[in-house]
Structure 1
Amino acid sequence: MIYNYIDEILQGYTINLDVLRRDTNLYSISMLQHTGSFHSSEFFFGNENSELESVKFNDFLFKAKENNSSLVITPEYSCPWSTVRNLVDNIENLPSQNKLWVLGCESIIPTNVLEFRDAYNGLNNVEVVFNDIVDNAPGGVLLNPCLYIFKANDPNGIEKTIVLIQFKRQHMGAWGNPLEQQKLIPGQHSYILRNSPDSINLVTVICSDAMLFDGRHIYPGAEGQWDIQPYIILSIQMNPQPAHIEFRDFRRNILKVANKDVISLNWSSEGRSSGNPNFFGEYCKSNISLITEHISNTSSIEEKLIDDNHKKGVYYTLIKPNRHCFYLTPKIEFFYLRMRKPILGLAPGPANRRRGPEIKTIYEYDTVLETFIEVEDTSDGYVDFTEDIQIQSESLQDGALNILDRERLIALTSGELSKVKSGSNWYAVNTLKSFISEDTETINRFTVTFDTNGKEYRISQFGKIEALNVNILSDTNLYPDIIASFKDKCNEVMFLNRNGTKYNYNLVSNDDQIATVAFLGHTSKADAKAMLNQLTKLFPEEDLGNKRIVVWYKPSIAADSYDYEATDVPKFTSTEQTNLTSITK
């Protein structure tokens, strides 16, 4: 791969793109997670019906310009060339000053890309640029292009619209057929956009080019430069296996160092392929991944951002210690959001805080009106999932419980706390096991159900709570002495979150007694004791004498029986009468 800085290609031009300015301001992004029918043939990879999809892409770009997006992105093989021609034929449709559009386009044959350059280069102050030699190119018969479209002033101060074309280099090898390998003409050049040598850098990696990407190769002989330079890396894909190890390693290696953001934009898994109806069977996992130590998710502002984003279809996970991932729902095509740039150290600490993207608007495409319509929120699939596995517990369906509190209730009740220390805030999002994603990038969130790799984990934990609510709490013979006064006064776990008790209590009687309970499923007595010990650490040591904690478990996988470990009933030496049903005395 040959890396070219844009200022080496456009020598003497002035470039001043919002997204690349080295400041702490928020910038805006419009992303199209294309839901379409992918089609491949001997001479074409793209949309099965390009004419129909062109109408959608025209509307998307119109709205992206209307909302003044700093950065606009579409995935590979998605944008019809008729949409591109519509842009350059009508200059009022082109990006505004300081804005950058990155369009993954349908394939094109060498003759047609040369015709496009000849037709539009110089028309309406447009300059069509690419360094690759495409005629008589070795390999196949078609090119996989990504277009950068932006404005720049030439050395004479005349504003030009630049259409810079980058071609994919590495064919995909995971489609189950060798068609792209046979047909792709590999590109040679990759472009690095920047306003100046001191600005943020932006590079686009087209799908399987991720297997070749190593940021250190941009700086031969000076690998340390990669570690310190701020970069936005766009990974545009038409990829049925976005969590394949090659793509995971691509993201992981980039995010080993600071000042890097990776924006991965795939076709939606709600789409299909004309030749393979199961092509998009896996969750598409379009996401924004960034590295920062600042997101602690303990403040009400940060929690509200996670909750608000969730309602609009963007879901948070953490890969420890500080890689934060925000996954897009496959149900929404058009996302408009704002976020901080990957710049640290330019301002005092409070101004350097990063909280990830803030989703402002989501759109669904109306096929009748042929336009994108703004919608308020979208489903995370949770209700459908619980209905599908026939959950009866009302507490798991409680609409009044916000997303984060639902995750906390399930975590506490199923004993899935990630890390608990005496006096610690166990309920902080970044300590909850369900929010932690390992390098496999499997999403184990209880309230996000699109990633089927996490399905068995979710079913297991939901099953524990269902058994606790339906089988255990309904049988008063299973109540230990410490909660004997709860008999016939409670039926499901829920939170008591008032008067500073926070999330430590999940069993509340109808006369306001409170306790902490869990069910671990089939496990050993030793494991139950260990969980009891872990739950005691939720409370200050001096308060443990008044705490009611019970851990039920199923000692035999075959027998329908339950056992428990529990705190002892407090012993009092005082002759003063004490009400054991109240923790306030």
Structure 2
Amino acid sequence: MTISIRDVKDVLQARSLRNPSLDALNPNDQSYRALLLQPAGPILADNTRIGPLDLAFADNQATKFLELATAKGHHLVVTPEYYLPIATLLKCVQGATFPAVGALWVLGCESMTPAQVEKFKIDCFGYCEVIFEEDIAAPIQGVYYDPVGYCFVTKDAEGKDRRVVLFQFKTISSRDLHFFENRNLRCGSVIYQFRGEDEELSLATIICSDAFNVAPDESIRRKLSRNATLLHIQLNPKPKHTGYMRYRVDTFSKSKDLNNCDIVCLNWAENMVQVDAPGGRSEEWKNESGSAWYISEHRCSSNDDEVENNEQYGLYFSRHVNQRHVLHFHFGVAAFELTVAKIVHLGYRVHDNHLGPKMDVRYTWRDDQQDWVPNAENPDPGLSNLFALSRDVESAFSSLKAVNSRLRVERAIALSCGLSKCKEAWFKAGELEACKLGEDEVVRRLTLALDRDVAARNTRENSIKKVAALNKILATKKLPRQIHDLGGGEAHIMWRPDLPHVNVFKDGKQPALVAYLGMDPSPEIIKSVSDAAFELLRRENNDNHKHRIAVCYHTIDGQAEFASISKLTDITHGGGSVTSIAEAD
């Protein structure tokens, strides 16, 4: 189907309404505040509707969520595809819970039949203006729409405040095994785009498989991505399917000067359950959530302070290969409150804010209070399961488990498994190998084990086990001369910002850089890791430990072996200072 982008300003003007002045689209130096909901299922999907199975429960949670948004004055509020009960939306329209002037609510709603849309408009008469595209398709062309409702306040020709609900309908069905949605969905043809009064900033939404229509049309992608916020709301068991990612890959591959944008993907929570009828058959998706905030690299900090603040609340850092940072939301049920700098502003350069989205609060649902409450607990990103792989793993990570920094854990693991390249800033979050995200968007971070990708999981477990093996070798094997005083137990593996290139510490002894390469590594790998380790400490030039380097592995017959590092030509007995080091260029 051919789709078009319509400017909301023109749609409103045709009804004698003004373009709304939205705080999120005002290009000043003032950040805006966003509130996103990642809800739980189960969902019902049958020939009459798609949405929450328990509408009463969803209405209660959604009402409390929107009351929170009203009370705290969030500027941008978003719920995912097929979520918000229509009864909840009508209650808001007719009551006090509605966006303030300058705020925009982008509410993925449960499915609506054409008759339900018309009835909603009638029920809202006298309360707000309800707008949606004219549907001229034959009745046989699907049972219900997949709507997103934009709620905002604008002014009429006389300057009086007017509430508006603008519905946008999904333009193409999702692909499922039985072509279920294909049979039932009535499709729209319009994507609405909000623009600020000076048209510097814009915002639009695509609904799940709308990505299939957006991806092949470069002109559509360009309009949606230049100085823009693009919301991608979903109810998606496979958010990393290539069809759903294609528009991002193509957008990010263009010149960064033409696609300075925030793309915000918001899905339901992990491990959804789909029910085909009340009391009927259920299907467990065993899915990831995949909710994430994609932001241009120059507008998001990778400094430890910002990264670690976000990660305390369940917003995890990675660096996309195409000059983007990607912040992944924890997969559990939650509402996320963020402070976000404008994509561009027209003020002084001194006010440029390059910190990126900052997570302020993570709310979780409390049944005993029947409300969303701030949750100060650091959510588990899957680390506890990895640390519990075996007793040896648990022992090796005893020191790291107490560290309230996932980046430090990543760095300790990286050094312990061997760096193959010498790069002095290797430990910066934006440079850390584990934080790199390819076009497949598979998260390979050791400390973010929520991703269900089998290869990524195997890589994590393999790295974790390498650290455990290194810990055991340090405690039980005869160590080479340059690190022999670290043997006999009580050495521990960790990372410290004041000594960023070493990973093994023992009270009263100088620290060392010791890597374990697994079973029977190739001579090339042994040499590259050894050379990188030597060069790293040579450049650091700390006389206390610049010779404290060792690389070990297991031979094919299971024996622990330490590599001969030729550049360490003469080391005083007992781990003292280097007397001669042959330096390579």
Q: TM-score, normalised by structure 1?
A: 0.89
- State the one-letter code of the partner of 2:575: T
- State the one-letter code of the partner of 2:523: K
Deviations 1:212-268 (A, max 9, x none): 11596657xxx97677x3111000000000000112212222334432110000011
Distance 2:566 2:548 in 1: 6
| Conservation of the 8 A alpha-carbon contact between 1:332 and 1:362 | no
Note closer, same or farther for the CA distance 1:429–1:131 as it changes in structure 2 (3 Å cut).
Answer: same
Identify which of 53, 67, 83 aligns with 1:78: 83
Identify which of 58, 83, 92 aligns with 1:87: 92
Identify which of 459, 462, 485 aligns with 1:460: 462
Select between 183-192 and 207-216 the one with higher mean Cα deviation.
Answer: 207-216
Pairing 1:489-528 to 2, within 5 Å after superposition: 490-495=490-495, 497-498=497-498, 502-522=499-519, 523-528=521-526
Identify which of 408, 414, 417 aligns with 1:414: 417
Distance 2:414 2:570 in 1: 31
Identify which of 570, 575, 578 aligns with 1:581: 575
- State the one-letter code of the partner of 1:87: C
Note closer, same or farther for the CA distance 1:543–1:85 as it changes in structure 2 (3 Å cut).
Answer: closer
How far the C-alpha of 1:119 sits from its partner, in A, is 2.5
Q: Which residue pairs with 1:487 in the alignment?
A: 487
Distance 2:197 2:219 in 1: 16
Deviations 1:545-573 (A, max 9, x none): 841211112332x534434233655538x
Distance 2:117 2:483 in 1: 76
Note closer, same or farther for the CA distance 1:385–1:23 as it changes in structure 2 (3 Å cut).
Answer: same
Distance 1:48 1:540 in 2: 62
Q: Which residue pairs with 1:575 in the alignment?
A: none
Q: Which residue pairs with 2:56 in the alignment?
A: 51
Deviations 1:470-522 (A, max 9, x none): 2x112333x22222333326443234554xxx211112233222211100112
| Conservation of the 8 A alpha-carbon contact between 2:474 and 2:486 | no
How far the C-alpha of 1:280 sits from its partner, in A, is 3.0
Q: Which residue pairs with 1:192 in the alignment?
A: 193
Distance 1:495 1:289 in 2: 29
Note closer, same or farther for the CA distance 1:495–1:167 as it changes in structure 2 (3 Å cut).
Answer: closer
Structure 1 position 96 matched with structure 2 position 100 = yes
Pairing 1:52-451 to 2, within 5 Å after superposition: 52-90=57-95, 92-121=96-125, 123-124=126-127, 126-133=128-135, 136-137=138-139, 139-173=141-175, 175-196=176-197, 198-214=199-215, 229-255=226-252, 256=254, 257=256, 258-275=259-276, 279-295=284-300, 297=302, 302-343=303-344, 346-347=346-347, 349-377=349-377, 378-388=379-389, 390=391, 391-395=393-397, 397-400=400-403, 402-416=405-419, 420-421=422-423, 424-451=424-451
Partner of 2:70, secondary structure, is helix
Note closer, same or farther for the CA distance 1:355–1:279 as it changes in structure 2 (3 Å cut).
Answer: farther
Distance 2:578 2:88 in 1: 69
Partner of 2:326, secondary structure, is strand
What runs of 5+ residues in structure 1 fail to find an aligned partner? 573-577
Partner of 1:537, secondary structure, is helix
Number of aligned residue pairs: 558
| Conservation of the 8 A alpha-carbon contact between 2:480 and 2:562 | no
How far the C-alpha of 1:373 sits from its partner, in A, is 1.5
Q: Which residue pairs with 2:583 in the alignment?
A: none
Deviations 1:278-307 (A, max 9, x none): 54312111010011325453xxxx312211
| Conservation of the 8 A alpha-carbon contact between 1:489 and 1:511 | no
What runs of 5+ residues in structure 2 fail to find an aligned partner? 580-585
CA RMSD for the aligned pairs? 2.5
- State the one-letter code of the partner of 1:71: L
Select between 9-18 and 140-149 the one with higher mean Cα deviation.
Answer: 9-18
Q: TM-score, normalised by structure 2?
A: 0.89
